[in-house]
Amino acid sequence: MTMAQDPQAVQAVMLDELLGAADTQGLTWEIKNPQGRAMPRISGIASLTNATPQSISFLSNPKFFGQLASTQAAAVLLPARALEHLPEQTPFLIVCCEDPYLLYSRLSQWFEKQRLARLSRTIHPTAVIHESAHLGQNVAIGPHVVVEENVSIASGVTIGPGCVIGRDCQIGSDSLLHARVTFYAGVSIGERCIIHSGAVLGADGFGFAPDATHEPGGWSKIVQFGGVVLGNDVEVGANTTIDRGALDDTIIGNDVKLDNLIMIGHNVQVGDHTAMAGCAGIAGSTIIGKRCTIAGAAMLAGHIRLADDVHISGATSVMSDITKPGRYTSVFPLAEHSLWQKNAAVLLQLAQLRRRIRDLEKS
Amino acid sequence: MTMAQDPQAVQAVMLDELLGAADTQGLTWEIKNPQGRAMPRISGIASLTNATPQSISFLSNPKFFGQLASTQAAAVLLPARALEHLPEQTPFLIVCCEDPYLLYSRLSQWFEKQRLARLSRTIHPTAVIHESAHLGQNVAIGPHVVVEENVSIASGVTIGPGCVIGRDCQIGSDSLLHARVTFYAGVSIGERCIIHSGAVLGADGFGFAPDATHEPGGWSKIVQFGGVVLGNDVEVGANTTIDRGALDDTIIGNDVKLDNLIMIGHNVQVGDHTAMAGCAGIAGSTIIGKRCTIAGAAMLAGHIRLADDVHISGATSVMSDITKPGRYTSVFPLAEHSLWQKNAAVLLQLAQLRRRIRDLEKS
Amino acid sequence: MTMAQDPQAVQAVMLDELLGAADTQGLTWEIKNPQGRAMPRISGIASLTNATPQSISFLSNPKFFGQLASTQAAAVLLPARALEHLPEQTPFLIVCCEDPYLLYSRLSQWFEKQRLARLSRTIHPTAVIHESAHLGQNVAIGPHVVVEENVSIASGVTIGPGCVIGRDCQIGSDSLLHARVTFYAGVSIGERCIIHSGAVLGADGFGFAPDATHEPGGWSKIVQFGGVVLGNDVEVGANTTIDRGALDDTIIGNDVKLDNLIMIGHNVQVGDHTAMAGCAGIAGSTIIGKRCTIAGAAMLAGHIRLADDVHISGATSVMSDITKPGRYTSVFPLAEHSLWQKNAAVLLQLAQLRRRIRDLEKS
């Protein structure tokens, strides 16, 4: 069951009212209703294939123009270039706009806002909140939450069931922590952040000094005294971990988006608007510029620096600085296993092959 | 301490009773007791090396036939082909069967069933369960669990300590959630599923529209309205995450087995019987066929499709469709670091090397 | 806000007292105060750039000698070889020592000890502790913890909020479990271990027997009866998972250090002092020697064996035994995407290229 299909999810609203009420700042749009149909009532957003006569849908990718013919949607967000591909009479109203994907995003936020407004905002009696904690107005705290000493929670914050907020943390206004998030002591996040379940902010960075005084190969722990600081509008995915710094802080810029199961090492710095997909890993003290994208399962070594506007492909390993914007890749190309075996075997003789070519060239 | 070694774990049972009581449907087996020993009492399964005189053990791999000589086991599951390698007089009874590994699996389930039957099945008073939740018969709920509005929990379900079940979730009969599992709102799972600790089902898919209306490089969140649907007999490993769909659902087929720390992106579809090992990652909207295996740390790009019966090697990256069954690999072969350095350096000149070969061929 | 900058964090202490009180066993150090300044009061450790006049700092890497000129630190740990690079009059006292990084580590532990000593050590009334559990002296248990039957918790142990400790677990003295750790039944850890939030010890190993008796491609679960055993001084990172063994135990040696989001499969054995960085994955039954290092996102296949003193580079895949100490790597070298495309395309023809070279050599 999708939430969008839940008839209770939202009171249906007239299409024109919806577009007027949603945040469309910076966007232009126009309802096209050549057949003069009645303005439809919209109860949710849906994909073209699963839309109902109360759905609004959208289409950006020309690859899917074919799906328009059979959609049940009451209205579809479309770019102007799609209009010429439509039949004279469409069974839906058209909301013509420059960027249907972005307008869809804004509409989705409006529906979410309505949904959230109906949820009760209380502090559950099973939550254990230290008396020194400071809670702003309209804060909601779920069951079995723990809030330790000297925590500051700004207005409009939601803390889901089972979260643990360590001492001296600061949570900016309107931020949302889903169920079972952990903040160690000394974590600070900005406004409108979204932290997903299982995320751990502020665990110890991985720091040990080699210490052979007791036994060869021994380790001595470096206690991690730094904090974690997130800017505004940061999203942190499920089970992602962001370690606290050794002495200084680990710093995540504004509008940074982190997917699930990402590992951010201690003292990493991530620039504004940078996004990372699932399973990415950033080793300690690495500095990433602004507006970078790190695709899924990419890995960055420690103590390196990426310039602004660098794009790392999926499953790529970055082992040294990248100083120029651009896209970078390091993936062994996929092949059927038997072909892979042959090529991999030759790969191990590559330096030798080059020598043989050189010899041939000489003779 | 292994549970199997716990003398309290199970009341010892006669070997023939055990084999009669366990689910051996579809399997054939025969107890061989040429020396006419007394039927032994079995209290648990053990490896050949750690077996006690109350253990049953098994052996499939001919590589380990040598361990038979010294095992203390009372009985051993063996394939017929092993019998000729045995001495005249074995110190254990033989359970001859076609597939010892599968029979061992079935016996392990019988022991587990006995263990579970002895655990008390109560609803702990610290659990916070919304009055609208519907609980079937014989449901067990641990301490500090949270069950939100309109949740439906079928008969025989077990929910471990600290789980959080969001509103509108549905849990099929006899499913088991270990401690500290999170279901966001609108997650539906089938019967006999096992969900391990730290797993997060239904967190937001990673969807953002580029939005330069405020600042270059900005992002606008796509609220994720889809759900997560799991079939029957699905197992989800510890700290694995399965994101909710953007508009439609993320769908996991029947008998799918997911190991730990796996990331399943939004709107992914996984076919029946497909298994994935630890640290695998599947990016959004990818469709995986039936009976596939995805080995550890393999990564699939988004919006691609894998046919049925495709097998992906460990640490392999898949960046486009795979339409034929088979095994596929993309791993740089391991070498000592100094050799790797040489080969990697040449690799970056590979296109140039090909040109040099072409030139040589021409001249 | 870093904890070190918190004025309440620690009562300032004279430099010579600090060095006398910290554990400097096996280390030599000497305070150099050529200008006969007053012995400074130290309230914390800081990086050279963020140090205050109450900070002690350190420097090992000659690369950063330049930062000494502008630091505000009251004292700096320095190796003897750094002294010749200093001006006649330094604004700080010098603690000359052989290994500043190790001495810093020991001082960081002293500060942490002071901080911990000020925290109250109570058993929170919301913790649900089974009456059969045995708790040593001076045990601290946070809110919403669950401790099941027959658990043994030694003296000085700290269990953070929301942890779940399954039946028959054993926790050695002075170990620390941060918030929201899960131990399944039958997990045993040694003394002075540190387990970070979200870690899951003892979830089922990933074991299924192919079972076509119901449907082709089906799976039959192998119930996992083994335990998990950790030695002393083990650290386990946030959201790391260590699976229980199938029949025998999964075994982690003394002084093993595991970073975040690591997956340790069932029946793995890890030798003493081995360290693994974030996102590493070790498949089932693999045996790793002593004093190995496994860098971030490296992956080891199952059923293989690594000798002592093996070092695996980041993002490297190991698919077979490594019998000799040394460093091993398997990473496709990074390139700009367009160059990568060219080289990757040629890579798929590598076996064919070798043949062409052979042909050239023959003619």
- Residues B33-73 have pLDDT tens digits of 988 899 999 999 999 999 999 999 999 888 888 889 899 99
Please list every residue in chain B whose beta carbon sits closer than 8 Å to the beta carbon of residue A180. 162, 164, 180, 182, 200
Element of type H or E holding C352? helix C350-362
Kindly tell me if the per-residue pLDDT of A3 is higher than 50.
no
Contacts of C23 (CB under 8 A, 6+ apart): C106, C109, C110
Give the residue on C whose Cα is nearest the Cα of A125.
C126
**Which chain A positions have a beta carbon within 8 Å of C289's beta carbon?**
none
pLDDT of res. A32 = 94
From B99's Cα to the closest Cα of chain A, the distance in A is 28
Residue % of chain C over a pLDDT of 70: 97
Give A-chain residues touching B297 at CB under 8 angstroms: 297
- The whole-angstrom distance between A278's CA and the closest CA on chain B is 7
Q: B181-356 belongs to which CATH class?
A: mainly beta
Partners of residue B272 in chain C, C-beta under 8 Å: 215, 217
pLDDT band at B1 (very low <50, low <70, confident <90, very high): very low
Q: What is the mean pLDDT of residues C99-124?
A: 94
pLDDT tens-place string over residues B260-314:
999 999 999 999 999 999 999 999 999 999 999 999 999 999 999 999 999 999 9
The string of DSSP letters for A23-66 reads --TT--EEEE-TT-PPPPEE-EE--TTT--TTEEEE---GGGGG
According to the model, what pLDDT value does residue A4 have?
A: 44
CA distances B66 to A247, B49, B62, C287, C307, Å, are: 55, 11, 9, 20, 24
For chain C, the average pLDDT equals 94
Q: What are the DSSP calls for C102-132, one per residue?
A: HHHHHHHHHHHHHHHHHS---B-TT-EE-TT
Tell me which chain B residues have a C-beta less than 8 angstroms from the C-beta of A196: 200, 203-204
pLDDT band at C154; cut points 50, 70, 90: very high
pLDDT over threshold 90, residue A67: no
The dotted CATH code for A181-355 is 2.160.10.10
Catalytic residue IDs of C: 266
Query: Which chain B residues are Cβ-neighbours of C248 within 8 angstroms?
Result: 2, 47, 49-50
Determine whether the interchain pair A342/C332 forms a contact, defined as Cβ–Cβ distance below 8 Å: no
Rounded Cα distance between B239 and C231, Å, is 23
Q: How far does the CA of residue A205 sit from the closest CA of chain B (Å)?
A: 20
Which entry of A178, A196, A266, A311 is annotated as an active-site residue?
A266
Is A273 one of the annotated active-site residues of the chain? Answer: no
Tell me what pLDDT residue A10 has: 65
Subunits with 3+ C-beta pairs closer than 8 A to A: B, C
Mean pLDDT over each residue of chain A, to the nearest integer: 94
Tell me which residue of C327, C352, A343, C319 sits closest to B339, measured CA to CA.
Answer: C327
Q: In the structure, what pLDDT confidence band is assigned to residue A334 with cuts at 50, 70 and 90?
A: very high
Please tell me which residue in B178, B266, B273, B311 is annotated as part of the active site.
B266
Alpha-carbon dihedral C328, C332, C336, C340, rounded to 10 degrees: 160
Shortest CA distance to A202 belongs to which of A162, A251, A158, A155?
A: A251
pLDDT category, A35, cuts 50, 70, 90? confident
Average pLDDT over residues C243-264: 98
C121 pLDDT exceeds 80? yes
- Find the CB nearest A261 among B128, B261, B317: B261
Contact B318 A337 (CB under 8 A): no
Chain C residues closer than 8 Å to B198 by CB:
182, 198, 200, 239, 241
Q: Are residues A283 and A302 in contact, defined by beta-carbon separation less than 8 angstroms?
A: yes
**A301/C278 Cβ within 8 A:** no
In percent, the amount of chain A with pLDDT more than 70 equals 97
Q: What angle do CA B198, B199, B203 make, to 5 degrees?
A: 115
- The percent of residues above 70 in pLDDT, for chain B, comes to 97
Amino acid identity of residue C360, one-letter, is L
Q: Please check the confidence at residue A66 and state whether its pLDDT lies above 50.
A: yes
Return the sign of the alpha-carbon dihedral for residues B149, A139, A237, A275. Answer: positive
Q: A225 and A205 in contact (C-beta within 8 Å)?
A: no
What is the interface pTM, i.e. ipTM, of the complex? 0.96
pLDDT of residue A5: 47
**Which class is B3-118 in CATH?**
alpha beta
- Please give the pLDDT value at position C11: 79
Strands A93-97 and A29-32: antiparallel
| CB-closest option in A168, A217, A350 to C1 | A168
What distance lies between CA A244 and its chain's CA centroid? 20
Query: B189 to chain A nearest CA, in Å?
Result: 11
Closest Cβ–Cβ partner in B6, B198, B273 for C218 = B273
Are the Cβ atoms of B162 and C144 closer than 8 angstroms?
yes
Question: Does the pLDDT value for residue A6 go beyond 70?
Answer: no
Tell me: the pLDDT tens digits for C276-300? 999 999 999 999 999 999 999 999 9
Q: In this predicted structure, what is the pLDDT of residue C6?
A: 53
Decide if A227 and C291 are in contact by the 8 Å CB cutoff.
no
Radius of gyration for chain C, computed over Cα atoms and rounded to the nearest angstrom:
26
Lowest average pLDDT, out of A111-125, A280-294, C312-326, goes to A111-125
Per-domain boundaries in chain B? 3-118, 181-356
The residue count of chain A comes to 363
Which of the four pLDDT bands, split at 50, 70 and 90, describes residue A9? low
Please report the pLDDT score of residue C10 as a whole number. Answer: 65
Taking alpha carbons only, the member of A301, A292, A299 closest to residue A278 is A299
Q: Do B166 and A179 touch (CB under 8 A)?
A: yes
Name which of B217, B220, B265 is nearest A105 (Cβ-Cβ). B220
- Across the interface, whether the CB atoms of A219 and C160 are under 8 A apart is answered no
| Pair B160, B177: CB distance under 8 Å | yes
Residue pLDDT, tens place only, C6-47: 544 567 999 999 999 999 999 999 999 988 899 999 999 999
User: Is the predicted pLDDT of residue C1 greater than 70, yes or no?
Assistant: no
Q: Do B239 and C239 touch (CB under 8 A)?
A: yes
Structure-token pair, residue C266: 């069932």
Return all residues near C158 (Cβ < 8 A) that are at least 6 apart.
C121, C139, C140, C175, C176, C177
Q: Which residue has the higher pLDDT, A40 or B11?
A: A40
Residue B160: band (very low, low, confident or very high) from pLDDT cuts 50, 70, 90: very high
Check residue C4 and give its pLDDT.
44
Tell me: pLDDT of C226 over 80: yes
Q: Mean pLDDT of all residues in chain B?
A: 94
